[in-house]
Structure 1
Amino acid sequence: MTLKKKKIQFRKETFLDNLKSSLFSILFLLCSLNFFGQDSIPAAPDLTEEKELNFQDFFFKALSQKSIGNYQKSIENLESCNQILPNNATVFFEFSKNYLLLNNTLLAKEYIQRAIEKNKLNIWLLKHLVKVYLKDNDFKNAIETQKKVVALNPKERNYLVRLYLRNNNYAEALNLMRVLDKENLLTSNYKRVKENLENRKKRVPVERKLTDKKETVYKQFESNKTYTLLKQILENEQKNPDALLKYSAEGISLFPAQPFVYLMNGKAYLSKKEFDKAITALKNGIDFVIEDKMEANFYKEIAKAYKGLGNSIEEKKYLEKFKKLNK
């Protein structure tokens, strides 16, 4: 190797070492301050230089492993961090993120609650707890936690509306949407949902037991318009675009917060090659999606619609979103 090349190589190595050192320092600062140095947080105990460097190394490795999907390896490095600096909120937060990615909601919940005990007013910790509850379909606790998020940041009220709607708390959702509408903070999609809720008949559908075994689900739906029956019909009619369009359009009117009806509506338009209408329906419905799997399905259908329009840029963008959630 020539002298010139050796100098360039040395400079590269020095730059990388300095960059790594800087990243370590930033990460350790965040950890030792337990998230941005809130006044209510006591300072972390002093560490020796050796322990500090070891902590930084393990924490950096934990983040690196998580970024490439090695969640168990990330957890192992976090365990080393916890031995060096026990009971750190930032480390607990990272534990919870990894366990949630491993679908272990029990431990994800345990660790995020430990972090919140140390910093009850940290909005990012609370928002993560909402995600954990949603993974368990625990809408009641997700709503209660989201209320705490809203208390810290009123801009988060639209998401509270979404949770109310998904939990069929239509009265609470409508009241909050009216408040947001008066403040000119309600999105156009939620305005449409608000109108549907205000205009639909004041009744609560009640499931009834049928005595006539020959009665079809379609006949039942004529007099008993419940979401359960509608979902069966939509699943049955996926290969019949006209019927799928008819029933999904009615479903949007009856159940404006159920993402599945928008997904079927979009599929119906796709089958009829009405791509612009498909995109509108799908983008309207994605506002109400909570689960990653269904969100991925929306992105997949939107990509198909953009492909039909010959828009390869948007098609690629939504395919990437689909792939990211469909790993």
Structure 2
Amino acid sequence: MKKLVSLLIMLVLLCNSALSWAQTEPEEIKLEDNKFKDYFFEALKQKGIENYDKAIVALERCLKIEPNNATIHYEIGKNYLALKDYKNAYSSFEKASTLDPTNKWFLIGMYDVDYETKDYIDGVKIINKLILFDPKFKEDLVSLYMNTGQFDEALTLINELNENAGKSDRREGYKMQILSQGQYQDAEIANLVNQINKYPKEESNYISLIYYYSKKDNLEKVLEIAHQLEKQIPSSEWAQVSLFKSYLVNNESEKAINAMNIVLASAKVDSKIKHRIFNEFLIYVNTNPQLTPVLDKAIGYFDNDTNVNVAKEIGKYYHNKKQFDKAVKYYQLSFKKNNLDEVETNLLLLDIYIQQSEFEKTVKTATDMVASYPVQPQFYYYAGLAHNQLKQFKKAKEMLEMGMDYVVEDIPLEINYNIQLGEAYNGLGDANKKELYFSKANELLKKQKQDE
């Protein structure tokens, strides 16, 4: 390909030479023409075998015959560039461009030098000239603006290209980099407002604008744009994301439920946003318990969520509020949805049974879990504690002594084990063992306080 280009260049040169020699004697023309061709082909040969110095010598001989031949200056520049002699390369390309300002390749040569030397400021100047030949060079100009820190110009150009040529991953990456700096967000807000006015059915512009208004905590504008989006695109799930909160604040239950159901069923909305909306509705239901059936139904949207057991998390919410009946209901429901969290959920249930003094339930649940998870010391502990409360001291002692073997580097649990073993031996009438385990518990308590 390079040889073909070089031959084409040679033909152009020869045509130029014929014109310049129009007033010369025929014999002189032939002599000069032969020399020029010989030097030029010699340059091509030397360049082909990467003897760039010798190629330059041959081309300089061409220049003695035609000192203002732009193409020869360009060829010299290419050889200097191959030698990484950037100063002479740039000078040669610049000379070629001065002689023939209509040839974009001469400017491209200058830009190649700028790129190699990271002279982005001069690169901006050259690319702006190249854009007059081909608007596609605007893509390069965006990168140059990023390298020179001209973010205002970069953002303006990115928005122009996005509108006229469509978005690209690289430009969107640059845009995110610029907009991470707060001072440029007002310009982007103005751009998005303009885009919405031009293209009212383009959902992504509304979503981006809602995002930036949210970052500024401008709730009034968030709701305004969300309502605008809902009006233009009634089916938009994203409109409901923003409207949901306002419905809750205004106590518009039916609208809030409808918005939540649309969002939870959406394949477009991120799962984190879905969880946030669900949690807000959970808090709302706590003061509006008549909506509990709606909450229970909404859990079904998370059946395939392998990251979060939603029913269990609701149980923990009510657990922390000491609303134990509700907590137990959702813990039980979580077993139907996902058995992967069985150990933690049962421990939470056992904690509630103990706080409610339901020791028979505690014994049954803890004993069943010991059979399923024989190396989990917490289940032995709960079983032993409940047996003590039921005055079944021998069973308590046996369960606790078995479980103690599995307690590893858990001082709080070890303290509780010793206390319960002391209680068991006290119930069995063994005062010495009782004092032994109570004494161990006290020593561990002292150690724990020292470590804190």
TM-score by length of 1: 0.48
1 or 2 for the larger relative contact order (CA 8 Å, sep ≥6)? Answer: 1
Which entry has the higher C-alpha Rg, 1 or 2? 2
TM-score calculated relative to the size of structure 2: 0.36
Q: Structure 1 or 2: larger helix share?
A: 2
